[in-house]
Amino acid sequence: MPSASASRSPATLRAATAPAAPVLLDDDAVDSVIAWYDAHHRDLPWGRATASPWGVLVSEIMLQQTPVVRVLPRWTAWMQRWPRPADLAQAGTADVLRAWDTLGYPRRALRLQECARAITAEHDGEVPRTEEALRALPGIGEYTAAAVSAFAFAQRAVVVDTNVRRVLARAVRGCALPESSLTAAERSIAAAQVPEDRARSVAWNQAVMELGALVCTARRPRCEECPLAAGDCRWVAAGSPAADPSAQRRVQRFEGTDRQMRGRIMKILRTHGRATDADLLRLDPEDPDRVERCARSLVDDALAVRRSGDLELPS
Ligand code: SF4
């Protein structure tokens, strides 16, 4: 006689293994995350208590694709040198790229300077406080506008970064990992989860983000330290099922990529101001076409210029 499970139809099996329907965290669970944050958060210099709105905006741009530990010294030096948008607006582009140093994706530095110029020209040098005005600035997307509005101006906003997405995927939806890119369903869960009260929404946004960064990490979540583990996390309640392979992000190879080569060329330019063809060729004598392709792409991105045959930082 077939067992009960063997007699189930494929549709029933799919339903049985699908993630649980989203159930938002209740007020007590939200309180527990906020209390955890109050006790365990990192004291970062771009916190609202210490940083200006401009400092918060700069930190959000730097942190987009770079870990906190690498951002910390560069953010501090940057804010000492250019404490207001007007200061960065007037800076030389070569100085800006040198100060960006090894943060990576240096086009962000150019966009940040464009942003500083727009703030100076259109907002009397003051970072605007509404998400709409922030999004109209160069280089400011949905996430950054929400984060600056929430963390610099204590406004209610839906702040959804990778850390928040991971906590909500696990705790609310019972999935091991979120999808590879933000979906409309995730956005609507994140929006519904933000408390209505303005002060509480700010506390929630910073708390859930920090929980994802420190405890609900991608590879080995430390559930034993999490305030949601005792009954509020659907993923833990379901026995911590493995991630759907389609949801797992591939770790991108860096060694040998054009991105690495561009970084090596930028390092020469930051250090010496210019690179001759011979300097460039030494980077990969076996593949001069690759070196030239990368140098040309830096020129196309306005990160370098050709002058008298040499490659230089833009002045
Ligand atoms: S209990 Fe574990 S998986 Fe669930 S939210 Fe906390 S750290 Fe993440």
8 A C-beta contact, residue 299 and residue 305: yes
Residue 1 has pLDDT above 60, yes or no: no
Q: Give the distance from CA 128 to its chain's centroid.
A: 21
8 A C-beta contact, residue 81 and residue 105: no
What Å distances lie between residue 4 and 9, 14, 20, CA to CA? 11, 15, 21
How many beta carbons lie within 10 A of that of residue 56, not counting itself?
22
**292 is annotated as an active-site residue:** no
Q: Which one-letter amino acid corresponds to residue 124? A: D
Mean predicted lDDT score pLDDT of the chain:
91
| Least trusted range by pLDDT, from 166-170, 178-182, 186-190 | 178-182
Residue 298 has pLDDT above 70, yes or no: yes
Q: Is the CB of 226 under 6 A from ligand 1?
A: yes
Q: Which atom of ligand 1 is nearest to the CA of 223?
A: 2
Query: What pLDDT does residue 16 have?
Result: 36
Q: Is the CB of 172 under 6 A from ligand 1?
A: no
Residue 56 has pLDDT above 60, yes or no: yes
Q: Is the CB of 229 under 6 A from ligand 1?
A: yes
Q: How far apart are CA 231 and CA 6, in angstroms?
A: 31
Angle between helices 53-63 and 107-122 (to 10 degrees): 160
User: From ligand 1's centre to the CA of 66, what distance in Å?
Assistant: 24
Q: How far apart are CA 21 and CA 8, in angstroms?
A: 21
Which strand ranges, in their side-by-side order, compose the sheet holding 310-312? 274-275, 310-312, 305-307
Question: Region 8-32: what's the mean pLDDT?
Answer: 65
Q: Is the CB of 216 under 6 A from ligand 1?
A: yes
8 A C-beta contact, residue 133 and residue 118: no
Residue 8 has pLDDT above 80, yes or no: no
Q: Is the CB of 166 under 6 A from ligand 1?
A: no
Instruction: Specify burial of residue 41 (Cβ count, 10 A radius: 0-12, 13-18, 19+).
Output: middle
Contacts of 296 (CB under 8 A, 6+ apart): none
Query: What pLDDT does residue 22 have?
Result: 79
3-state secondary structure (DSSP) of residue 30 = helix
Q: Which atom of ligand 1 is nearest to the CA of 229?
A: 1
Report which DSSP code applies to 181: S
Q: Give the distance from CA 150 to its chain's centroid.
A: 15
Pocket test for ligand 1, best of 30, 40, 166, 228 (most atoms within 8 A of CB): 228
Q: Which bin fits 161, alpha (ψ -120 to 50), beta or left (φ > 0)?
A: beta
Which residues are registered as beta bridge partners of 312?
274, 305
217-271: pLDDT as tens digits:
999 999 999 999 999 999 999 999 988 776 556 666 788 899 999 999 999 999 9
Choosing from 60, 131, 186, 210, which is the catalytic residue?
60
Residue 7 has pLDDT above 70, yes or no: no
